Amino acid sequence: MNRFHRRNARGFTFVELLVVLAIVSVLMAIATMTTKYLRYRAMLAVFYSDIRLIKQAAIRFEADVGCFPPDVWRGVDPGLVNKYGWKVAGQYSTTWDQVDLKGWKGPYLRAWKRSPYGGLYDWDNYPSNYTAWGIPGGGVYVTLKPLSWGGGDGMPTMEFEQILEDQGVDRSKEKRVIAVWMGREPTWDSVPGQSG
């Protein structure tokens, strides 16, 4: 009896420590994968929510004004937050100087924000004879493009892009560009120099 008691007092055996270490490692791996999966799902949910809100705002803008907002640079409000949001930034096509915004009843969105991936949403309004970034003409899109030319910064993972393509959400033919269709062909002529 005394021997048994002395053996327990020495502590854990090497095998027991390895078993505990293996269990802790497995639990850590499961926790890491679960956290990564939940974060991924949350970012996907935010992206879909942003797109839904932008689309609803664009539909209200079109109902009030009679056309969709103009094509603007990445990160620039196309007129859904401020009546002349694109003019404030000074980055727009002069074709839109003639747009009559008397019916504007916005703001239609609280803010033109960044994507959950850190990239800038881009409002693209392409006539049917114009194609860019693998995005077909004849439609209005909210797009995600890399912050730097040819880069992947501000973009979601390729797996996310593949999910959007599989669901028919991404209309772009180029990798590292995500284009979500918002509406029908624009009712304006192409900008001089923009032709397919």
Q: What is the pLDDT of residue 106?
A: 84
Task: Name the residue ranges covered by the structural domains of the chain.
Answer: 2-183
Prior bond to 69 cis, omega within 30?
no
**Burial level of 76, CB count in 10 A (0-12/13-18/19+)?**
buried
pLDDT digits (tens, 9 = 90+) for 128-183: 888 888 888 888 888 887 766 555 666 777 777 788 888 888 888 777 788 888 87
Q: What is the pTM of this model?
A: 0.71
Q: What is the pLDDT of residue 192?
A: 37
Instruction: Describe the crossing of helices 158-166 and 14-65 by its angle, rounded to 10 degrees.
Output: 50
pLDDT digits (tens, 9 = 90+) for 80-118: 998 877 777 666 555 666 677 888 998 999 998 888 888
Greater confidence (189 vs 19) lies with 19
Q: What is the pLDDT of residue 150?
A: 56
